[in-house]
Structure 1
C-alpha cells in the first residue's frame, strides 16, 4: 500500500506541532493523518501499551487501523518533558485516555515517549513507545535542581 502524502512541513515546523498533529489525528480516528506524521525511515517503531514492537509503516498502519475500528482515541497529553539535541527531540508525556465503558466514562493513564527527527519536510515521528500507567503515576518524581549559593 503506498504511503500517504505527508502534511505540509509548515504544519510541523517543530516537534510540538508534530506531536499536536499526532494526538489530534488520534482524536478523529484519521488514519491517513496519523501516518503522515511518521518519518519515511524504514525502521520507525511503535509500541502500544502491553503490545509488541511494531517496526515499519505497514505494521504501524495496520495497528492503528485495528485500533480505530473501535472508534477514535480520546488522548490528551500533559506533563511534557522535552529534550532537543540537534536534529532529534524526545518528549516524555503522560497520556490521559477517556474511555466509554458500560459503567460510564473512565480515565486511563499511559506513560509515553515520542521521538522526533528533523527532516527536509519538517519534524517527523520516529518512534512512539507507550506503557500502561496508573493514577499513582500521574505524580512526577524528579531530582531537585541543585543551587549554588
Structure 2
C-alpha cells in the first residue's frame, strides 16, 4: 500500500492527468498505478459494463486484479465531454476498447463517466461508471446547436 501512496503523490495536478494515468495503467495492467488514481475514501465507486456496483478500494482493486489476470484492457478514451468546477470534475466519454475475439482483433465501444474530486493528495477519481459496449460507436445526441450564430 505504501508504494501506491508514493505513486499517488507523484500524479499530475488536474483531472486530465489522472484520467490519462488511469487509462495508461489500464492498458499496461498496472494495478498499483491504477489504484493510485483513486481517492483514498471509503465511498469510491466503480461499475463495469453489466457488473454490480463496487464500493470501496478493496472491491475495486479485486475486480481490476481479476481483469488483469486475463490480460490488459486496451481502452482508449475518445469524445470526452467535461464539466469542471473548483473541487470536482465529471468527464463523460466514449471508450474505444480493442478486444481479441474468435475472429481476431475487434473494436467495441463503451460509454463511461469518470468523476474526480480535489483531495488533500490532489485530484483523484471517486467514480468510474461504464455501460455495456456496442460494436459500433454510438451516435451522439446533443441539445447544443451544431452551428453557432
Shared fold per TM-score greater than 0.5: yes
Structure 1 stretches lacking a partner, 5+ long: none
1:7-86 alignment, distance < 5 Å: 7-9=7-9, 11-86=11-86
Instruction: Kindly provide the CA deviation profile for residues 114-145 of structure 1, in whole angstroms up to 9, marking residues without a partner as x.
Output: 00001122110000000013255532110134
Equivalent residue, structure 2, for 1:132? 132
Q: How far 1:59 moved relative to its partner? A: 0.3
Deviates most, 56-65 or 2-11: 2-11
Change (3 A) 1:148 1:99: closer
Length-normalised TM-score, structure 2 = 0.91
Structure 2 stretches lacking a partner, 5+ long: none
Aligned residues: 148
How far apart are the structure 1 equivalents of 2:133 and 2:50? 11
Instruction: Kindly provide the CA deviation profile for residues 48-75 of structure 1, in whole angstroms up to 9, marking residues without a partner as x.
Output: 0000000000000000000111100000
Instruction: Kindly provide the CA deviation profile for residues 10-34 of structure 1, in whole angstroms up to 9, marking residues without a partner as x.
Output: 5320100000000000000001111
The alignment's C-alpha RMSD in Å is: 2.0
